[in-house]
Amino acid sequence: MQATSKPGGPRALLPSGALRHGLTPDLLEDRTCSEVIDASFVVHEALGSAHDAATYLNALTVELLGRGIAAHRSATFSVLYRGRVVGSFHADLLVDERVLVQVKADAAITSGHRTDTLRGLAAGGVRLGLLMCFGAPELFFARIL
């Protein structure tokens, strides 16, 4: 999937009629974020901490799709400089076209993981990122703006 920043900002990503029903971009991002975190806890509880990142990514995708949530695996964002593509960023998941999710199987979140997620936000024009770290007995995650 090739994704680029959409003109019109976050409001352009809202479902039709969402504003009439009081669903602001921030509220929708919070709902999506909550669903991803909840789904990640379900996956971590079921699989534990002994698998690789691809396994967790596959399971999280299945869990989100089972909940009726749009989740695009391996979303690719073009990095633009002066209107030209100069690189790309590969996100693990793009959920509801508004939340970038990076999945790690490491025991802890590192500054490198955070930096990588920030790069994805900048490349994709997405405001919210979730970094999910499944490799420890407890699920660790970071919400990155």
Indicate the domain borders of the chain. 24-144
User: Does the pLDDT at position 31 exceed 90?
Assistant: no
Confidence of residue 61 (pLDDT cuts 50, 70, 90): very high
Residue scoring higher pLDDT (28 or 66): 66
Please state the pTM of the whole predicted model: 0.76
Confidence of residue 95 (pLDDT cuts 50, 70, 90): very high
For residue range 101-137, what is the model confidence (pLDDT) as tens digits? 999 999 888 899 999 999 888 888 888 899 999 999 9
Task: Measure CA 140 to chain center.
Answer: 15
| Phi and psi, residue 4, nearest 5° | -135, 165
| Phi and psi, residue 81, nearest 5° | -140, 120
Q: Which CATH number fits domain 24-144: 1.20.120.80, 3.40.50.2000, 1.10.8.290, 3.90.320.10?
A: 3.90.320.10
CA nearest to 99, candidates 60, 48, 53: 60
Compute CA distances 94 → 58, 97, 108, 117, whole Å.
13, 6, 22, 12
Q: Are strands 128-133 and 2-3 parallel, antiparallel or unpaired?
A: unpaired
Q: What value does the mean pLDDT of the chain take?
A: 81
Confidence of residue 8 (pLDDT cuts 50, 70, 90): very low
* Cα(79)–Cα(90) distance, integer angstroms: 11
* Cα(98)–Cα(58) distance, integer angstroms: 19
Cβ distance 16 to 111 under 8 Å? no
Residue scoring higher pLDDT (19 or 90): 90
Paired tokens of 19: 């504003």
